[in-house]
Amino acid sequence: EAQVTQNPRYLITVTGKKLTVTCSQNMNHEYMSWYRQDPGLGLRQIYYSMNVEVTDKGDVPEGYKVSRKEKRNFPLILESPSPNQTSLYFCASSLHPGTSGYEQYFGPGTRLTVT
Amino acid sequence: AQKVTQAQTEISVVEKEDVTLDCVYETRDTTYYLFWYKQPPSGELVFLIRRNSFDEQNEISGRYSWNFQKSTSSFNFTITASQVVDSAVYFCALSDNTGGFKTIFGAGTRLFVKA
């Protein structure tokens, strides 16, 4: 089954404790992306990647890191989480922009609470 | 700069009514992509449609139709004969060549369909 998986689905942590949210897709997609969703703000892109070893900042990259060492995986790293990073996070993947398959498939979401 | 505006925060209709969700976008690129996604109460994000900037043909899929007008920078979504299952948050999104296909989402429109 074609899918994007995220782990964990729920996470409560404390300020300053490094954490990683994993994202994996099994569709051989080039494009992967992380978003955060906050009430009234829609989804805001944090980072995206057009392919292995290629990453770019989205609109809200501060406080986050990503890496793309393998095509299928795109982990999101919070080196020192703060309460303003409490949010619902989505990972997404798609074929390369410009192809007929450029439509993003989303993971189930990770609800993160930082206290 | 890219921008997507969904001016309608919430819309409430009675079942079988037609409803149109507005989306206005801004971009300087001539090549760009527009999307609609649905987020039902269960929280997942579901792709509905993609439109390329060079294809202004309107599209109909069952009860759903989309009106793309470059002259007014709008990509509106109409649900005909709405049903309770259409209750969801609907997001419009834009991706263009500027900065390598970063994706910008609107704030979303929450649609309530009452029986």
Residues A34-56 pLDDT 10s: 999 998 889 999 999 999 999 99
* Residue bearing tokens 């439109």: B51
Residues of chain B in contact with residue A31, where contact means CB-CB under 8 angstroms, are 101
DSSP state of B9: S
A108 touches chain B (CB under 8 A): yes
Find the CB nearest B102 among A48, A103, A108: A48
Q: How far is CA B11 from the centre of its chain?
A: 14
Counting as low any pLDDT under 50, the low residues of chain B are none
In terms of CA atoms, which chain B residue is nearest residue A34? B103
Please tell me the predicted confidence (pLDDT) of residue B47.
Answer: 92
Please tell me the predicted confidence (pLDDT) of residue A101.
Answer: 66
Q: In one letter, which amino acid is B50? A: R
Whether residue A39 is preceded by a cis peptide bond, meaning omega within 30 degrees of 0, is: no
H or E stretch at B109: strand B109-114
Q: Is the separation of the CB atoms in A66 and A58 below 8 Å?
A: no
Find the CB nearest A109 among B37, B43, B106: B43
Q: Which residues are CB-contacts of A50 (< 8 A; sequence separation ≥ 6)?
A: A30, A31, A56, A96, A97, B100, B101
Q: What is the signed CA dihedral for B6, B10, B11, B15, rounded to 10 degrees?
A: 120
Please tell me the predicted confidence (pLDDT) of residue B99.
Answer: 62
**Distance separating alpha carbons of residues A102 and B30, to the nearest angstrom:** 17
Q: Is the pLDDT of residue A98 over 80?
A: no
**Distance separating alpha carbons of residues A68 and A78, to the nearest angstrom:** 15
Q: Is the pLDDT of residue A31 over 80?
A: yes
CB–CB contact A50 B103 (8 Å): no
Q: Is the separation of the CB atoms in A110 and A21 below 8 Å?
A: yes
Backbone angles phi, psi at A44, to 5 degrees: -120, 130
Please tell me the predicted confidence (pLDDT) of residue B44.
Answer: 94
